[in-house]
């Protein structure tokens, strides 16, 4: 009975001075309740000894009752925990109640989140006799909350920093989320669109009726047809402009509500890139057509070389023979000039068709203008376009690749002709050359036309790749951009000069003058080298399988004073070289039985000195093998068609080796 009374008295003192609500309960029942609740309960004496600990407290400590009850706190608790409790128990035994909550690091239990109520027990108005410690472990709950917060923060960070635009709506299509990428993509602020129908914000007017019909179908219980699919469609920005997007729609069920999230990617750049690739393909197909046409023209030009060489050579010889007959000499000169013009046209075609690395040399812009004018003369004439040449006769040469400059000038002149096709008044294109003096002297060439001119907005983009104002099929938009690039590679420039409205367009390209050059002027025919100027008459061997070409070469060289022998094939030429001495050989490169390369190899082995004095006259300079041979052999070359002065100059150079 004493023990029961003591337990009852203890239970009363622990809980309250007043009888608790469960006071009528039997003491064993109260004991069982305290012993088995999930709250940790312990009682500490003023000597800081445990006088009681329930099962949950012992379980948390991981110790049996005999190692806790009657022991000092310093013997049971971790040293750090014990030291943190000392100042608290001073306050508790002074009569203050405490509520502790937070994370605590235990040696055995690890990091735990505890909540503790520490209540002093003082019967009557006497001193505090004990402290009741009630503790709860919220670790798992707190960890779950922290994980949830971290997960929510991660999801928020992903949504806020996602490159894709994310738009979430409820089942009625009302926007509930609009991430920063969506703001940037659609040009709208999140605060302005939350709560508004998504159709009004991002769906173009022409598709809105179908969109709203889909919302009604889903609202009536129908399945979303686009769920989980990658779909390309059109969307609308804040300014009303449309753009292509790719969208994936997903569904989320949250607390009994249904939400739909659209992940959207802007396809504008991809579509623009696809259009650019298609334009490049068109340009490539056009380039292939031009390349095929160029190859065909090059073949035709090559076939014309021999007859043109004969016409040019024979007309020149006829002109010399008829010096006493002025009228016939004049006719012969006109034939020669026409043939030379044909030769320049053929040479221009061949230069454009060549595929070789850039070769810089001294180039006369005046000759470039004349040659390109000859090439386009027929086209200009048939289109009723007057072509004027205003060339500075004292213009110095420039250091450039003649083929590339021809390409630039040809492009400018073709553009000028096309700009005049709808002009009803005078159609005129003017080529003008000149020199700008300065720190670096710049020779320039202007191409101006009498067309409608170029507007300011077009002028701002005129040199952009693939930009063109021509009708479909008339151009690729690459000509001017490529031309400007070629001029920059030459340390020069290609510019569109300002002009008044209605005065036409003026394009100007300028290049640095070649160092140590004098004004370029055509050499007069009368200054041809002659064999009589040398100490002894040179003996030459002419080799060609074309009888007319052989006869013409022989006549040209003999009239210049050379002793000439001829051979109709490479094999015959070898026999003649063995039987007689020759100072130089003038040979065709392409012959049926033994071509020029084999002939050179045989001569170089038998007569090394003569092997360095071979001049190859050929119209085949397009093939890579031919160029490689001519470069490796180091022999002289003369391209067909040629003038007599060119032939004699090459021979003189050859004999001086």
b/e 134-147 (16+ beta carbons within 10 angstroms → b): bbbbbbeebeeeee
More confident residue, 483 or 181: 181
Residue pair 529/560 in contact (Cβ under 8 Å)? The answer is yes
| 3 state SS of 541 | strand
How large is the average pLDDT for residues 46-66? 90
Name the pLDDT band for 196 (thresholds 50, 70, 90): very high
- Name the more confident of 204 and 146: 204
* pLDDT tens sequence across 293-320: 556 665 666 667 667 777 777 777 777 7
Spelled out in words, what is the top-level CATH class assigned to the domain 162-266?
alpha beta
Q: What is the DSSP string of 126-180?
A: S---EEEEEEEE-HHHHHHHHHHHHHHHHHHHHHHH-SSEEEEEETT-BEEEE-H
Out of 1.20.1080.10, 2.30.110.10, 3.30.565.10, 3.40.50.300, the CATH code matching 356-512 is 3.30.565.10
Please write down the HEC assignment for all residues of 321-351: HCCCCHHHHHHHHHHHHHHHHHHHHHHHHHH
- Kindly tell me if the per-residue pLDDT of 454 is higher than 70: yes
Report phi then psi at 517, rounded to 5. Answer: -115, 155
φ, ψ of residue 244 in degrees (nearest 5): -80, 140
C-alpha–C-alpha distance, residues 491 and 270, integer Å: 36
Superfamily of domain 526-655: Response regulator (3.40.50.2300)
Confidence category of residue 64, pLDDT binned at 50, 70, 90: very high
What confidence tens digit (pLDDT) does each residue in 499-518 have? 766 578 888 899 888 765 44
Q: How confident is the model at residue 597 (pLDDT cuts 50, 70, 90)?
A: confident
Query: In a 10 Å sphere around its CB, with 0-12 CB exposed, 13-18 middle and 19+ buried, how is residue 596 labelled?
Result: buried
Structure tokens given for 71: 């022991």
66 secondary structure, DSSP code? G
The reply to whether 162-266 shares the fold of 37-143 is yes
Decide if 344 contacts 374 (C-beta within 8 A): yes
pLDDT at 189: 92
* CATH number of 37-143, picked from 3.30.450.20, 3.40.47.10, 3.40.50.11060, 3.30.420.40: 3.30.450.20
Question: Above 60 in pLDDT, residue 26?
Answer: no
Q: How confident is the model over 369-407, as pLDDT tens digits? A: 888 888 788 788 888 888 999 999 989 989 888 877 887
**pTM score:** 0.39
CA distance 643 to 560: 13
Quick count: other Cβ atoms within 10 Å of Cβ 617?
Answer: 25
Query: What is the reported pLDDT for 25?
Result: 43
Q: pLDDT of 281-290, one tens digit each?
A: 766 666 666 5
Cα 459 to Cα 506: distance, rounded to the nearest angstrom = 11
SS (H, E, C) 173-216: CEEEEECHHHHHHHCCCHHHHCCCEHHHHHCCHHHHHHHHHHHH
| For the chain, domain boundaries | 37-143, 162-266, 356-512, 526-655
**pLDDT tens digit sequence for 228-282:** 788 888 999 999 999 999 888 888 887 778 888 888 888 888 888 887 887 777 6
């Amino acid at each position: 009975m004493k023990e029961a009374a003591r337990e009852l008295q203890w239970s009363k003192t622990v809980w309250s001075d007043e009888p608790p609500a469960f006071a009528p309960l039997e003491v064993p029942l109260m004991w069982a309740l305290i012993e088995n609740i999930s709250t940790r309960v312990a009682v500490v004496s003023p000597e800081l000894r445990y006088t009681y600990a329930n099962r949950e407290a012992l379980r948390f400590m991981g110790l049996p009752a005999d190692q806790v009850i009657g022991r000092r706190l310093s013997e049971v608790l971790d040293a750090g925990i014990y030291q943190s409790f000392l100042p608290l128990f001073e306050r508790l035994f002074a009569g203050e109640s405490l509520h502790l909550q937070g994370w605590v690091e235990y040696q055995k239990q690890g990091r735990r989140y505890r909540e503790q109520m520490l209540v002093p027990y003082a019967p009557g108005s006497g001193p505090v006799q004990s402290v009741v410690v009630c503790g709860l472990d919220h670790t798992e709950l707190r960890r779950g909350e922290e994980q949830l917060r971290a997960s929510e923060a991660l999801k928020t960070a992903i949504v806020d920093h996602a490159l894709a635009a994310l738009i979430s709506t409820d089942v009625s299509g009302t926007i509930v989320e609009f991430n920063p990428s969506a703001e940037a993509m659609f040009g709208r602020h999140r605060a302005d669109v939350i709560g508004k129908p998504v159709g009004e914000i991002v769906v173009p007017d022409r598709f809105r009726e179908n969109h709203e019909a889909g919302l009604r179908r889903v609202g009536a219980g129908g399945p979303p047809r686009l769920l989980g699919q990658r779909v390309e469609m059109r969307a609308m920005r804040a300014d009303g402009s449309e753009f292509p997007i790719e969208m994936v729609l997903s569904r989320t069920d949250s607390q009994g509500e249904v939400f739909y999230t659209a992940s959207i990617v802007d396809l504008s750049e991809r579509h623009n890139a696809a259009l650019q690739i298609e334009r490049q393909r068109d340009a490539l197909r056009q380039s292939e057509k031009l390349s095929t046409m160029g190859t065909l023209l090059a073949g035709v030009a090559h076939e014309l070389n021999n007859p043109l060489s004969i016409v040019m050579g024979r007309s020149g010889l006829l002109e010399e023979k008829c010096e006493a007959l002025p009228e016939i000499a004049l006719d012969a000169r006109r034939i020669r000039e026409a043939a030379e013009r044909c030769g320049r046209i053929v040479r221009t075609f061949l230069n454009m068709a060549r595929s070789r690395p850039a070769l810089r040399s001294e180039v006369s812009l005046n000759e470039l203008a004349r040659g390109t004018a000859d090439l386009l003369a027929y086209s200009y004439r048939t289109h009723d376009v007057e072509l004027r040449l205003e060339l500075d006769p004292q213009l110095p040469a420039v250091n450039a690749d003649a083929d590339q400059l021809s390409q630039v000038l040809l492009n400018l002149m073709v553009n000028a002709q096309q700009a005049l096709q709808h002009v009803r008044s005078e159609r005129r294109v003017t080529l003008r050359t000149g020199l700008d003096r300065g720190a670096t002297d710049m020779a320039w060439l202007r191409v101006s036309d009498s067309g409608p001119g170029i507007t300011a907005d077009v002028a701002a983009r005129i040199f952009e790749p693939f930009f063109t104002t021509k009708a479909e099929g008339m151009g690729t938009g690459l000509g001017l951009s490529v031309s400007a690039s070629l001029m920059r590679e030459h340390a020069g420039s290609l510019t569109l000069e300002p002009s008044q409205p209605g005065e036409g367009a003026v394009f100007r390209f300028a290049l640095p003058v070649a160092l140590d050059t004098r004004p370029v002027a055509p050499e007069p025919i009368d200054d041809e080298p002659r064999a009589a100027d040398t100490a002894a008459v040179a003996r030459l061997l002419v080799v060609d399988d074309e009888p007319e070409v052989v006869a013409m070469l022989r006549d040209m060289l003999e009239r210049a004073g050379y002793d000439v022998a001829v051979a109709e094939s490479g094999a015959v030429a070898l026999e003649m070289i063995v039987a007689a001495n020759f100072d130089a050989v003038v040979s065709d490169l392409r012959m049926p039985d033994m071509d020029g390369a084999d002939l050179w190899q045989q001569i170089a082995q038998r007569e090394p000195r003569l092997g360095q004095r071979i001049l190859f006259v050929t119209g085949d300079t397009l093939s890579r093998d031919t160029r490689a041979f001519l470069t490796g052999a180091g022999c002289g070359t003369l391209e067909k068609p040629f003038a007599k002065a060119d032939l004699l100059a090459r021979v003189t150079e050859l004999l001086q080796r």
